[in-house]
Amino acid sequence: MTDSNKIMLPTTFTAENAARAISVAREALQIEADAILALKNRLTDTATEPLARAVALLLGCQGRVVVSGIGKSGHIARKIAATLSSTGTPSLFMHPAEAAHGDLGMVTSHDVFIAISNSGETAELMTIVPIVKRMGAQLIAMTGNDSSSLAQLAAIHLNVGVDKEACILNLAPTASTTATLAMGDALAVALLDARGFREEDFALSHPGGTLGRKLLTRVKDVMRRGDEIPAVKPDVSLIAALMEITHKGIAMTAVVNDKFEPIGVFTDGDLRRLLERGQDFNHMSIVDVMHTPPHTIGPDQLAVDAVQVMETHRINQLLVTDAEGILIGALHIHDLTQAKVI
């Protein structure tokens, strides 16, 4: 490590200081873990359990879910809204201060409004919540106090109270925000399950992510077409077939009949094996050395299915055929890598 990469610690930061820092960090993690476990133990297996009622209310929501909070609770509210949206529940974040200056116009009687405040007395929320209720939107509150003003106004109250904060001063929102975030995640996952939300549904809202690419990309989206497909007739010489392989650049060629149905395939691996055997292939025909039957896949199958076929048969190329068995495309494993399917 060069001097420029060294972390210069204050001379006053001793080994004892380091040990205390680690001890405090461990204690903070333990407090937050205990806070989440307490939430789990607080849930009851009854239809009147607030979480179950919240899931039922959100399932029946004809509009959107509006999540609101300010300060640290606002940051958590944004995350909860984003998680709900990505798991099948259209949601948005609304800043309570902006709501009081016009943004409440986005709320309708068909919406569910989730208000988040640890104390349950946040002035900005208490200003707009009565109006939200008057507009006909259903109210879910997430607070740390069952007796708070916000909890009393809500149709459903999710108690996210904690015994203490992870902050050594018991002041900075730490365990309380972690518990609220965990409750939001639990609500979103319970909703996801109740909706029958599937991987394919998740992929539709995440087309740019890895899962989206795997579940949305079809073979036809990445295959080579037309003149890019290496193909020769069975009566051509091996030399001519090698020229086709070189010209098309995917280290293989299909061998097709007059209907353009693949009857065999020859790859660079096959060529290496011929060379290892020391055979004179100057006068060979491709039909003498191709292997059959060729592995094929349909254009509408998922690209990940093509990956599985390649891995199963330990091949790097794959032919694509239509419902009539006509060759319409070709795939190389590099095509799948470039499409980020692998």
What is d(CA 80, CA 16) in angstroms, rounded to the nearest whole number?
Answer: 39
The amino acid present at 254, given as its one-letter code, is A
Query: Residues 252, 255, 259, 261: is their CA dihedral positive or negative?
Result: negative
pTM score, whole prediction = 0.65
- The bridge status of strand 91-94 relative to strand 138-143 is unpaired
Q: List Cβ<8 Å contacts ≥24 apart for 313-319.
A: 315/267, 316/251, 316/252, 316/267, 317/250, 317/251, 317/252, 317/265, 317/267, 319/254, 319/262, 319/265, 319/294, 319/295
Average pLDDT taken over every residue of the chain: 89
Model confidence over 126-150: pLDDT tens digits? 999 999 999 999 999 999 999 999 9
**pLDDT for position 231:** 95
pLDDT, mean of residues 31-54: 93
Model confidence band, residue 1 (pLDDT cutoffs 50, 70, 90): very low
Model confidence over 234-270: pLDDT tens digits? 999 999 999 999 999 899 999 999 999 999 999 988 8
Residue 55: how many CB atoms within 10 A of its CB?
20
Beta partners for 143?
Answer: 159
Beta partners for 171?
Answer: none
Q: In sequence order, which ranges of 43-91 are alpha helices (DSSP H)?
A: 50-59, 72-86
pLDDT, mean of residues 311-334: 93
Distances (CA, A) of 324 to 231, 278, 293: 18, 39, 16
**pLDDT for position 136:** 94
Collapsing DSSP states into helix, strand and coil, what is residue 115? strand
Model confidence over 64-90: pLDDT tens digits? 999 999 999 999 999 999 999 888 888
Backbone angles phi and psi of 290, in degrees to 5? -70, 155
Across the beta sheet with 262-267, the strand order is 231-232, 252-256, 262-267
pLDDT, mean of residues 204-211: 53
What is d(CA 308, CA 331) in angstroms, rounded to the nearest whole number?
Answer: 13
Residue 14 confidence (pLDDT) above 70: yes
- Strands (DSSP E) contained in the chain are 65-68, 91-94, 112-116, 138-143, 156-159, 231-232, 252-256, 262-267, 296-297, 317-321, 327-332
